[in-house]
Structure 1
Amino acid sequence: MSQKVLITAKVHEYLIDQLKAKGMTVLYEPSITYDGVMQVIRECTGMIVTTRIRVDRAMLDAAANLSWIGRLGSGMELIDVAYAESRGIRCVSSPEGNMDTVGEQAVGMLIMLWHNLLKSSFELREHIWERDGNRAIELGGKTVGIIGYGHTGGAFARKLRGFGMNVLAYDKYKTGFGNEYVRESSLEEILQEADVVSFHLPLTEETRYMGNRDLFRAFRKPPVVINTSRGKVVRTADVIASLEAGEVSGACLDVLENEKLETFSQVEKDEFQYLLRHPRVVVTPHIAGYSHEASIKMAQVVLDKLGL
């Protein structure tokens, strides 16, 4: 009997072709709903997910034949990993596959902010030729504080080589990673020295809203806040309040607390419009890990980890 693999999101055809080449039947359902998964999961031995579908206990209980779950990207907060593994279901993720594109985007957003690339481009579309108001801040000599030194935090540090920046990194659960381009630091050192703080954290109860106004106020210099990890690592209202109070000098946000625009409350709509209009804010639609190359590399990592 052929093994069936359910794919619940858009993926590169490479992944589909590789699974089929190994004799598997692929159920490619990139728009499937939670209820739709529940209708077919019993017949599946494997499952490929991103951030669209929550894999909870009810789904795992219904997945009588499931033996593995492959997560394209990083972050396993939508999967009840402990319960899955208690049922003998192997869970793997692939942060190695998109870490480079996340690192590149974090650098790009900082350059975009400090060199006023977005602001001046929009001004030109209104026939405003403004040079003095768009004078750049150079990256060289500034200090970046990275919070969370996993795959993407490390990639960001590597991408900063050549810019002449001082790179500090703090990770509560990792030590001994300092090298020629990053200095292992405490959170207190980052608060004292950093011009930029960049979050590279999974979303857990411990990291939820770690980026809050109390933290921003604790910086000696108003930092630029970069978040390419998970939206709920940083509280949007606190970024806005700190921007208005001068406690934060700018923000580069690839992720938001709520990324479904059609479900926004009036408060969320107002916050979103504030961010879009602010001259020292760059917002993108959760695309940091979404390069063409990463779509293949993430698939390769998942297949390798599963031994497929």
Structure 2
Amino acid sequence: MIRVLASDGMNKAAAADLRAKGYEVVEQFYEPEDLKRELANYDVLVVRSATKVREPIIDAAVEAGRLKLVIRGGVGVDNIDVKYAESKGLKVTNTPKASSDSVAELALGHMLAMARYISIANVTMREGKWEKKKYEGVELAGKTLGLIGMGRISQSIARKATALGMKVMYTDIFEIKGLPEEYVCATQEEVLKNADFVSLHIPAAKDGKPVITAEHLAMMKPTAFIVNTARGGLIDEDALVDALEQDKLAGAALDVFAKEPLQNERVMNCPKISLTPHIGGSTKEAQGRIGQEIVEIIENFFNK
């Protein structure tokens, strides 16, 4: 029997579907040293973001000789040493389509929350404060949305933002074909300087350093907002708080962080930052689609 380890859990319907098809599915998180040992008993490893599949784990799995397939339930594969795994004969794949709309909606939700002070007003009202005059916001309509990276998620945001009356400009290292003519392609510097709302949708840098530094934040308008629902560490968190405290930026929204759970107290306590705990893909619909895609990947791999 083919055994599947879902180390970060799995959609119930998907797990049931796999079991009905004759697979054994175990949902259990293991710390790295334990995972190295346990992978000798599995053919497939399914992870989300909590489990890190690094070289020592890959070496142990390859030495044991059973593991054949690693699946990242989600878009990014930063938590997997993909090239190394593939060089050792393991197949690595992800589910890039499943959560695009969910992440896009969260990013757009954060933009609305920042523009209209929804996050902070919710907190201060529960403290008994009625700060109506303080929370004069801005409209998204007529504003420019700048997208850093123009993959599936960014394209989903762009469609939704356009429906709200926003203008779209973007930058990407690749030429993206088939986009609406009204989307303006520009350099990253041009996007940062001209956008009213900037949303990041790029992988982490290979060296792990921030992609958006104090220098980049200084390029932005003091009335601008920045959103990161992509990867933790893309923005220099302390530089971001500095810019917000000095009124060099109007606001920020973060769903991902350099260290998770969030440990940076400056970020936690900054009232100009809208925070969510890495829930970009956490919708019932997205989890269902991710589960279905995982089932399809496993079925196609073992029943070619």
TM > 0.5:
yes
Give 1:202's aligned residue. Answer: 203
Give 1:211's aligned residue. Answer: 212
Q: Residue type matched to 2:44 in 1?
A: G
Number of aligned residue pairs = 297
Distance 1:177 1:233, change over 3 A: farther
* Cα deviation, residue 189, structure 1: 2.6
Contact 2:196-2:221 within 8 A present in 1 as well: no
Q: Does 1:51 align with 2:52?
A: no
Give 2:267's aligned residue. Answer: 272
Distance in 1 separating the partners of 2:182 and 2:13 = 35
Q: Deviations over 1:183-217 (max 9, x none)?
A: 32222331332111110111132774111110011
Give 2:275's aligned residue. Answer: 283
Contact 2:221-2:248 within 8 A present in 1 as well: no
Distance in 2 separating the partners of 1:197 and 1:258 = 22
Which aligned pairs between 1:21-170 and structure 2 lie closer than 5 A? 21-29=20-28, 31-63=29-61, 64-170=65-171
Distance in 1 separating the partners of 2:110 and 2:148 = 17
Q: Report % sequence identity.
A: 27
Give 1:11's aligned residue. Answer: 10
Give 2:183's aligned residue. Answer: 182
Q: Residue type matched to 1:55 in 2?
A: V
Give 2:257's aligned residue. Answer: 256
Give 1:225's aligned residue. Answer: 226
* Cα deviation, residue 39, structure 1: 2.2
Q: Residue type matched to 2:267 in 1?
A: F
Q: Deviations over 1:76-104 (max 9, x none)?
A: 11111112112221111112111111100
Contact 1:158-1:181 within 8 A present in 2 as well: no
TM-score after normalising by structure 2: 0.91
Q: Residue type matched to 1:37 in 2?
A: L
**Greater CA deviation, 202-211 or 40-49?**
202-211
* Cα deviation, residue 119, structure 1: 2.3
SS where residue 96 of structure 1 aligns? coil
Runs of at least 5 residues in structure 2 that lack an aligned partner in the other structure:
none
Contact 1:216-1:222 within 8 A present in 2 as well: no
Runs of at least 5 residues in structure 1 that lack an aligned partner in the other structure:
none
Distance 1:26 1:95, change over 3 A: same
RMSD: 1.9
Contact 1:84-1:90 within 8 A present in 2 as well: yes
Distance 1:130 1:221, change over 3 A: closer
Distance in 2 separating the partners of 1:56 and 1:45 = 17
SS where residue 130 of structure 2 aligns? coil
